[in-house]
Amino acid sequence: MNKKFIIAFDQGTTSTRTIIFDNQGNIQGVSQKELTQYYPESGWVEHDPNQIYNDQKDTFETVLKDTGISPEDIAAIGITNQRETTVVWDKETGEPIYNAIVWLDNRTKDICNKLKHDGLEPYVREYTGLVIDSYFSGTKLKWILDNVPGAREKAKAGKLLFGTIDSWLIYKFTNGKQHVTDHTNASRTMLYNIKDLKWDDTLLSALDIPKSMLPEVKTSSSDFGSVTYNNINIPVYGVAGDQQAALFGQGGLVEGIAKNTYGTGCFLLLNNGKDYVASKNGLITTLACSLPEQPKNYALEGSIFIGGASIQWLRDKMQLINEAKETEQICNDIPPLKDLYVVPAFAGLGAPYWDGNAKGAIYGITLDIGKKEIIKATVEALAYQTKDVIKAMEEDSGKPITVLKVDGGASSNTYLMQFQSDVLNVPVDRPKIIEITALGAAMLAGLKAGVWTKQDIASIREIDQIFKPEMDVKTRTEKYSGWLDVIRRTQTINKA
């Protein structure tokens, strides 16, 4: 293989990036643009799909110009994206009929309640692996069809298309030639049967969604079309939702690997391989990255809605910090907290509680509590929420997790990683490249392009640091018991 570089499109909740990797997995260039967030009403979150496409195009062109790498030397493109975020566009014009409804958005709670009332929850759990929640794409799509004038009529006439962000980007970059997605993104729609690998007629009927709107589903390492730049066609050979891409980047298709990505939310995945494991502890079963020779690859997942977003809240709304990186020094500067907890349920509580009505809370405030203590408690909440999900994973899988692999922006916070190891009582393994999500997408594309073999994938990831537990048993037990107590109180308040 003469071509030495792979490009990753990394389209996230707060930014859009293009990253170039060489054939050793090293980053050669990055271009990034911040993504505008829209909040039309309380609990609503939207993005402009055209901004997403234009920013992806701009960062793609910028990183090529900045690095001086010729498009002829690019073997393939991999795409990784914020999952569940829903776009509906006109098939003839290619223009969105409404803003993208973001995964965090919870406007569809009434639709979800009706589905539950109609008795669909057991069916949804069995065949999609999910729970009925506004988090997933299906109810967002129904909301658009129900609320945008003329949308349902156009949809029934075959004039509208639906996609998650990967589908939207591919459609735009291929000038409408490709309307496709991969298994990982399809499995997040609440419309896809992950046992039979097909769109589910029962759920499409329940939500009144025409099948003609839906993209073709492919394995994660496939031919998704090509992007043209300076008359050079660069194939898109890898697509995966961001969390599955991160799991792939942490170890390919190896069973038993558990990882946590500390992004806007925190997302823990445990690779179960070919085994479909149904959760009894508030987790979901989802499709991990798939290859043509292994289309069925399952994972248990716990989604924590508010992770790094709570640090943004400290910065933007509370104005307690100027930059996220300040939190590490602040946490190290002050003594251990005693009975102070922040529950960042700003968009409800995700796994394993699934309480969409929960609101954020601070417990244990006394006269000696200042802004530094609140900052530290907010950081520590990421670790407590992660332990909640790890406990559920261990109970579902029947196996203890012996190491947690980590990535995402907040994994660079050494205090948080040590506290995470202490609370879990297992080692935490941080790689040298914390841009593991983009690397995972690049790996999928590189496999298809022949840049790497499956054996190469595991060797590309290098360890930066392994954090080992240092906290004594009594302290660990007391701290986590206090966390569980405030979670119970938060739920009780909202049920009262």
- Neighbouring C-beta atoms of residue 6, cutoff 10 Å: 31
One-letter-per-residue 3-state SS of 138-198 = HHHHHHHHHHCCCHHHHHHCCCEEEECHHHHHHHHHCCCCCCEEEHHHHCCCCCEECCCCE
Identify which has the larger pLDDT, 148 or 354.
Answer: 148
Q: Is it the case that residue 223 has pLDDT exceeding 90?
A: yes
- Name the 3-class secondary structure at 36: coil
Residue type, 479: K
Q: Tell me the whole-structure pTM to 2 decimals.
A: 0.85
pLDDT tens, position by position, 350-404? 888 878 788 999 999 999 999 999 999 999 999 999 999 999 999 998 888 889 9
Q: Percentages helix, strand, coil for the chain, rounded to the nearest 5?
A: 40, 25, 35
pLDDT tens, position by position, 283-314? 999 999 999 988 899 999 988 888 888 999 99
Q: Is it the case that residue 459 has pLDDT exceeding 90?
A: no
The end-to-end CA distance of the chain, in Å, is 63
The span from the CA of 17 to the CA of 56, in Å, is 7
Q: Is it the case that residue 49 has pLDDT exceeding 90?
A: yes
**What's the mean pLDDT in 100-118?**
94
**What's the mean pLDDT in 454-460?**
82
Q: Which residue has the tokens 């595991």?
A: 458
- Name the 3-class secondary structure at 468: coil
**What's the mean pLDDT in 236-247?**
94
